[in-house]
Amino acid sequence: MQDVPLFERLEQFLGYFQAIRERSPQTIREYRYDLVLFFRFMLNHRGQTAADGPFNQIRIDQIDDDFLRSVSLTDLYAYMTWLSRERHNAPPTRARKVSALRSFFGYLKQKANVISEDPTAGLESPKQIRRLPRYLSLEESKQLLAAADQPEDDLSARDYCILTLFLNCGMRLSELCSIQLPDWRGDVLTVVGKGGKERTIYLNGACLDALEKHMEQRPKTGLKDPQALFVSNRGTQISPKTVQYLIKRYIKAAGLDPRRYSTHKLRHTAATLMYQYGKVDIRALQMILGHASISTTEIYTHVNSDSLHQAVENNPLNEIRSR
C-alpha cells in the first residue's frame, strides 16, 4: 500500500506522527495500511466505487473534509464487523486498527480542527484474551547461553553478549540493535525504547563480562558504522533481521523448539526470571522493561505450577486428617 495515493489530511496526519510525535517507521507503516483499508471500506460501503472493481485498487485520494465529517460511530462499528466476519481479523489486529482510527480522528479534531465531534470517542476496543507469555525456564536459558559459548567461532563473543543482554536485561530487539558505543558507561547502558523514550539499564556482572569479551573480539578497523556496539560481518550496524536469525540458530542448537521461542520471548524470559527469582517489585519491573502502563507488566506476575502446588501444600489445614 506504499504506492497508494493518499488524500491530503491523511498525508498530513502521517507526517505529524512521524516528525512531531516521532513514531517509528514501523508504526507509520501500520497506520498507513490500517487507514487506507478503512477508507477503502468506507467508499465501498457507501457504494462510491465501481461495483466490479477489485477492493485493493480502490482509490482514496478523492476523500475531502466533508467526507471525514460524515464518518459516524455506526460506520466504525460496521467496519469492525466487516473486519471480523469478512477478513477474519483476530481481536489483537482489530484493536490495532481501533488505535489507528482513534489517533487519526483525534488529530482531525484536536490538531487540524477539521471535525467538531470525534466519532471514535464511543468506539470500544475488542476484548482480548490475555494469554500468559511464553518464556524459557532457567535451565533452558542456561542451555541457550551454552549453545552460543563457542570460543572457536569468530563471532561467538558478540552473539553470546547479545543473548546475555536479552536474558539479563529484558531489552527489546530494536533497543539492542540501536546501541552505540557512547551509550555504554561503566555498569549503565542507555537505550532508546518505544516513542523515542530513553531508558537506563543497569548491567550486572554477567553483562559486563560479556561486553568486555565482545569488545576484545569486536573488529577495530574497516567498520562502516564505527560507533555501533554490535556490527555485522560486513562492518555495518547489526540489523534486527540478523539478530532474529542468529537467535533462531542458537535456539535450535540448544535443542529447543524454534517455533515456540523467538527473540521477543527472551524479553519475556528475562522479565519472568527477574520476577520469580529476584523478587523484584512490580513497579521496579515496569521501569526495567520500559512499559508505559503497569497493566502491561502485570502479565509477568504469573506464577509457575510448582508455586501453586506449594501454596496448597502450605495451607495450615493440610495437617488435619479425618479420624
Domain edge (last residue) among 91, 122, 153: 122
Q: Are residues 99 and 216 in the same domain?
A: no
One domain for residues 114 and 18: yes
**Contact of 49 with 58, CB cutoff 8 Å:** yes
Task: Answer yes or no: do 161 and 302 share one domain.
Answer: yes
User: Which one from 158, 172, 214, 265 is the annotated catalytic residue?
Assistant: 172
Amino acid residing at 315: N
Is residue 291 annotated as part of the catalytic site, yes or no? yes
Expressed as residue numbers, the domain containing 62 is: 8-122
Which of 73, 90, 122 is the C-terminal boundary of a domain? 122
- 66 and 195 in a single domain? The answer is no
> Which one of 59, 194, 199, 248 is the catalytic residue?
194
DSSP per-residue codes, 106-137: HHHHHTS---SS-GGGGPPPPP---PPPP---
Distance, in Å, from the CA atom of 38 to the CA atom of 91, rounded to the nearest integer, reads 16
Given the C-alpha cell 485493493, which residue does it identify? 56
158-162, 201-205, 232-236, 300-304: least confident range = 300-304
> Are 164 and 48 in a shared domain?
no
**In angstroms, how far is the first alpha carbon of the chain from the final one?**
75
Do 40 and 77 have their domain in common?
A: yes
Q: Are 273 and 258 in contact (CB under 8 A)?
A: no
- Annotation marks residue 249 as catalytic: no
Number of domains in the chain: 2
The length of the chain is: 323
Could you confirm whether 268 is annotated as catalytic? no
Q: Do 79 and 154 share a structural domain?
A: no
Residues 201 and 156 placed together within one structural domain of the fold: yes
- Helical pair 263-277 and 138-148, crossing angle rounded to 10 deg: 130
Same domain as 267, residue 182: yes
For residue 262, give the C-alpha cell.
523467538
* Contacts with 306 (C-beta within 8 Å, 6 or more apart), sequence order: none
Residue 316 lies in a domain: no
Give me the mean pLDDT over the 255-261 stretch: 90
Residues 22-68: tens digit of each pLDDT = 787 888 999 999 999 999 999 999 998 876 789 989 999 999 999 99
Which H or E element spans position 85?
helix 73-85
Mean per-residue pLDDT for 70-98?
Answer: 94
Could you tell me the CATH number of the domain that includes residue 240? 1.10.443.10
The catalytic residue among 218, 267, 268, 275 is 267
CATH number of the CATH domain containing 82: 1.10.150.130
108 and 154 belong to one structural domain: no
User: Do residues 71 and 119 touch, judged by C-beta distance below 8 A?
Assistant: yes
The confidence band for 278, taking pLDDT boundaries of 50, 70 and 90, is confident
Active site residue 218: no
Domain boundary among 72, 98, 122: 122
With respect to residue 323, please indicate whether it lies within any of the assigned structural domains: no
